[in-house]
Amino acid sequence: MKNYLLKLVLLFLIISCSDEEFINKHKKVNLEQLKSTQDVFDAGLKLMAMPNGLHDLEISDDNQKTLFISVHGNSSRGYEWIYPLQVINNEINLITFFRWDDSSCVNSSVKSLDDLIRDKLSKNKNIQKVILFGHSYGGLLVTSFMEQWTGDLPLEVHTIAAPLKGLGSLSAVCNYRAPEQVPKKSSLFEWRTIHKLDGAFQDLNYDPQNVEIIGSNITRLPEKYKNNKLGHNWSISWVADNFKKEIKR
């Protein structure tokens, strides 16, 4: 019964939503390979074909000071990440992608991500900050991760079009609750779409993005992005563009 209820809950989130040596037998891909793929949907499938785990999308070096982790939503086809990852990439960011079991509750994946990050930081002593971008259901994962983070480095969390309030039976099935406040050494930025323009939420009689978290920074996205309706998946691109502007200031 619990599995059935969980599947019903996750239905709301469907459609969340360089060197050859770098591409190994585990189907790893990199930013250059994704960029050179002509069809963005094919590029997305390559991204999502990777096994569960934390994947570097570029070769790491000592100049990188920030570990950037992108976390997909439920039933993602990956294409919504192709442009944003290219935009956010720069010489000081190590761009990674967290592939996880989005058909289940976030708890086990939070523990897995914590272990993977600690291992990554132990091998990359140059990293001084961790940034998480969580889209849709991935937003619940990154905020849950934020609550349990005990690492020494500052943690910056961004949720994009994320139903942090919860959906349907999600709270009961997964024992989910939104954080009450942002922990010390962490910062939280919520990027919320307009409820009635978001294909994942527009049929709900409430906006599941609306939740009060003390210390959170909230931005409501506009109606349009590059002359397109700014809906559930376009939201990552808009945030990436504006995130890049803030970095340059």
Query: For the chain, which domains are there?
Result: 2-248 (3.40.50.1820)
Q: What is the pLDDT of residue 172?
A: 76
Q: What is the pLDDT of residue 229?
A: 94
- Rounded Cα distance between 113 and 207, Å, is 28
Output the average pLDDT for the chain. Answer: 89
pTM above 0.85, yes or no: yes
Check: CB of residue 142 under 8 Å from CB of residue 161.
no
> What DSSP state is assigned to residue 196?
G
pLDDT band at 10 (very low <50, low <70, confident <90, very high): low
pLDDT band at 168 (very low <50, low <70, confident <90, very high): confident
Structure tokens of 8?
């019903």
Q: What is the pLDDT of residue 131?
A: 98
- For the chain, the straight-line distance linking the first and the last C-alpha, in angstroms and rounded, comes to 51
Q: Are strands 228-229 and 129-135 parallel, antiparallel or unpaired?
A: unpaired
Structure tokens of 40?
């963005």
**Does pLDDT of 98 surpass 50?**
yes
